[in-house]
Chain A
């Protein structure tokens, strides 16, 4: 995943921006869309090869997506 610099502000995302951010992070972390991640999480269908740390990092971001 590419890194970033930090610039000193706070941004509250819109619902659309939040979903887009979540989708981008899911693709970078696990190579799947945000919706695919949420579907598999809801259905207890998490592939064993997915990184547990990446899943934890995505779960904490769920308020951005729904």
Chain B
């Protein structure tokens, strides 16, 4: 997401994410220190200080990303600074146990799995599903919008607004226009 300065680029990055989260609630995004100002360092955002966000019927949602603000040079004018996603984790929990999550964490020290993947947690499995609970099921890079759409459409989470489909589509369009990985 581009902007004329680092703070503007970070806001342009966060705006569509806030819009997407508003489809299941009203987003409070917590940013890591100096996230709006420092270029060339890895920063992070999380929802509600890293705590699960309570939804209805025992569901909860967590999301976070690591990101970096890049300086593309003065020749880029008002698009000089750009924010790029380095990692993400989104998860849907049911009654305090993970139901499913989408992970991409190539910077993680404790995991050798660098490709994007899904996990299906204990709440989604039968008693015989222990192997699947540890599996890293390959996935494409998953947008926050796509995960929220899945929660509403397929997991039955009640949307917080009537125009959620349009909102998610608009937000995802912004994301698609600026993403740096192959479409």
Contacts and interface: CB of A to CB of B under 8 A. Distances in A.
Interface in B1-59: 14, 18, 21, 25-36, 41-44, 46-54
Nearest to A59: B108
A3 B95 CA distance: 11
B142 to A, nearest CB: 15
Contacts of B53: 3-6
B28 A7 contact: yes
A56 B111 contact: yes
Contacts of A56: 89, 103, 105, 108, 110-111
Contacts of A1: 51-52, 96
B87 interface: yes
B109 interface: yes
A53 B119 contact: yes
Nearest to B108: A59
Contacts of A15: 33
Contact of B33 (A3, A13, A25, A60): A13
Nearest to B17: A10
Interface string A45-62: 010000011011101111
Nearest to B87: A60
Interface in B88-111: 88-89, 91, 96, 98, 101, 103, 105, 107-111
Contacts of B48: 4-6
Contacts of B47: 6
Given A56-B103, A60-B105, A61-B44, A6 B28 contact: yes
B98 A53 contact: yes
A3 B51 contact: yes
Nearest to A9: B28
A12 B33 contact: yes
B60 interface: yes
Query: Which 4 A-B pairs have CB atoms at the shortest separation, nearest pair first?
Result: A3-B54, A63-B32, A8-B26, A25-B50
